[in-house]
Amino acid sequence: MVAPAFTLMFLLLLGPLLGVIALSFTDYQLGSPSFSWIGLANYRDMFGDRVFWLSLRNTLTYVAIVVPAAVALGLAVALLIESGSSLRSWYRTIYFLPVMATLIAMSIVWEFMLHPQFGLINGLLQGVGLEGFSWLQDRRTALYALCVIGIWQALGFNMVLFLAGLVSIPRQLYDAAEIDGAHGAWARFRLVTWPMLGPTTVFVVVITGIRSFQVFDTVHVLTKGGPSKSSEVLIHTMYVEGFEFFRSGYGAALTVVFLVFVLLLTLVKSALTNRGVHYT
C-alpha cells in the first residue's frame, strides 16, 4: 500500500536530493560521456566567482526586504480587516487576488507598468513632478522593483494566515484584558494579540523567507538577473549554470548553497517553536 508512494519518493525526492549533493562534487556536464570526482573544486570555483557573491548578496537583500515588509504589511492588513466588521470579505478577496493570479502573467503586467516611457508608474510620478526611472533596466533599481513585486504577491497569503491566527484567539482573553485595565489598541495588542500570534508569526516569517529564497519567475522574465547582474539571484544563477550552460556539477553546488539556507530557516522555525512560542 505504501510501496508506490515510497518508491516514487525515493526516485523523485530523496534520490535526487542525495544526487544533487553528490553531483556537486563532480565535473559532470550534460551530454559529456563521463565525469570525474573533483572534490570541492566546484565550491572553490563558486567562492571565487564574483557572480556567485553578487547573486548571494542580492538574494539576501531580496529576502531582507521582502520578508519584513510582506510579514508586517500582511499583519497590518489582517489587523485592520479584523478591527471592523464592514467589507471584511471584500478586502480579503482583493488582497488575496495576487496569490491566485499566475505570477508570470502578472510579471508581464508589472513590466509594462514599469515601462520607462509608457509605464503607469513613471506616468504617475511625472504627474506629481518627479523624475521616473527605467526601473528594470537600471542597476540601481532593478532588484528593488523585483522586491516590490515580491511583496505585492506575498502580502495576501500572509494576511490570510494572520487572519486565521487572529480568529483563533479566544475572545475572553480580550475581555480579561479589558477588565485588567489594558485600554487602547496598543495595550491590547501587546498583552494579547502579539503573544497569541507568536506561532503564526514564526510560521509566516519562515514560509515567506523560504519562498523569497526561491525567487525566480519574476527575475527570469523581467531582468534575467541584469542589468550587469544587479538582480541576479541564487536560483536564477543555478538555472543558468545548470540548464543553459549545462554545467550540472556547478549548478548542483549552487543548489546545495540554496538548500543550506532553506535548512537554516527550517531550523530557526523549529528552534523557536520548541522554545515555547506554542502554548497549550
Partner 1 sequence: MTPRHRTVVWSVARHLLLLCGAAFILLPFLWMISTASKPQTEIFSKSIHFIPHSFALWDNLATAFGKANLWRFLLNGVVVTASIFVLQVLIALPAAYALAKLRFAGREVLFALVLFCILIPPQATAIPVFLLFHQIGILDSYAALIVPFTISAFGIFLMRQFFKTVPDDLIEAARMDGISEFGIVWRVMLPTAIPALTAFGIFSVVAHWNDYFWPLIVLNSEHLRTPPLGVAAFRNEEAGTNYGPLMAAAIVIIAPLVVAFLLAQRRFIEGITLTGIK
Partner 2 sequence: MARIELNGVRKTFDSAEILKGIDLAIEDGEFIALIGPSGCGKSTLLRIIAGLEPQSAGEVHIDGVPVDGVRPSARNLAMVFQSYALYPHLTVFDNIAVPLRMRRHSALARMPVVGRLLPERSRVERGIREDVERVAAQLELSALLRRKPGQLSGGQRQRVAVGRAIVREPVGFLFDEPLSNLDAKLRVHMRAELAQLHRQLKATFVYVTHDQAEAMTMSSRIAVMIEGDIVQIGTPAEVYENPGDIRVAEFVGSPKINVLPGLVRADGGLEVLGRPLGLQTSAPAGRCSICVRPERVEPGAGSGAISGTVAHLENLGAEAFVHVKVDRIDLPLVARVNPDRQLPTIGSAIDFAFPASAVRVFDAAGKRIEVVAPVRSERVREKALG
Stretch that binds partner 2, among 93-101, 145-153, 186-194, 234-242 (CB under 8 A): 186-194
- 164 binding partner 1? (CB under 8 A): yes
Give the one entry of partner 1, partner 2, none that residue 192 binds, where binding means its C-beta sits below a cut-off of 5 to 8 angstroms depending on kind: partner 2
229: helix, strand or coil: coil
Q: Which does 103 bind (CB under 5 to 8 A by kind): partner 1, partner 2, none?
A: partner 1
In the complex, least distance from residue 18 CB atom to partner 1, rounded to whole angstroms? 8
**Nearest alpha carbon to residue 45 among 258, 264, 247, 262:** 247
How many residues at the interface with partner 2, by CB under 8 A? Answer: 22
Residue 231 site contact among partner 1, partner 2, none (CB < 5 to 8 Å, cut-off depends on kind): none
Question: At its nearest, how many Å lie between partner 2 and the CB of residue 190?
Answer: 8
* Residue 86 touching partner 1 (CB under 8 A): yes
Per-residue contact string for residues 193-222; x = within reach of partner 1 by CB under 8 A = ----------x---x--x---x-xx--xx-
Rounded Cα distance, 166 and 156, in Å: 15
Looking at the Cβ atoms of 127 and 276, the one nearer to partner 2 is 276
The residues that bridge with 26 in the sheet, in sequence order, are: 37
- Could you say which DSSP state residue 118 is in? T
Contact 46, 25 (CB under 8 A): no
Q: Which does 150 bind (CB under 5 to 8 A by kind): partner 1, partner 2, none?
A: none
> What residues from 217 to 276 belong to the interface with partner 1 (CB under 8 A)?
217, 220-221, 235, 238-239, 242-243, 248, 251-252, 255, 258-259, 262-263, 266
- Cell for 29? 556536464
Q: Does 272 bind partner 2 (CB under 8 A)?
A: no
Query: Residue 238: how many CA atoms within 13 Å on its side-chain side?
Result: 19
Residues 100-139 that bind partner 1 (CB under 8 A): 100-106, 108-113, 118, 120, 123-124, 127
**Alpha carbon distance 116, 127 (integer Å):** 14
Q: Which of 144, 142, 150 is nearest to 74 (CA)?
A: 150
* Long-range interactions of 235-239: CB distance < 8 A, separation 24+: 236/55, 237/51, 237/52, 237/55
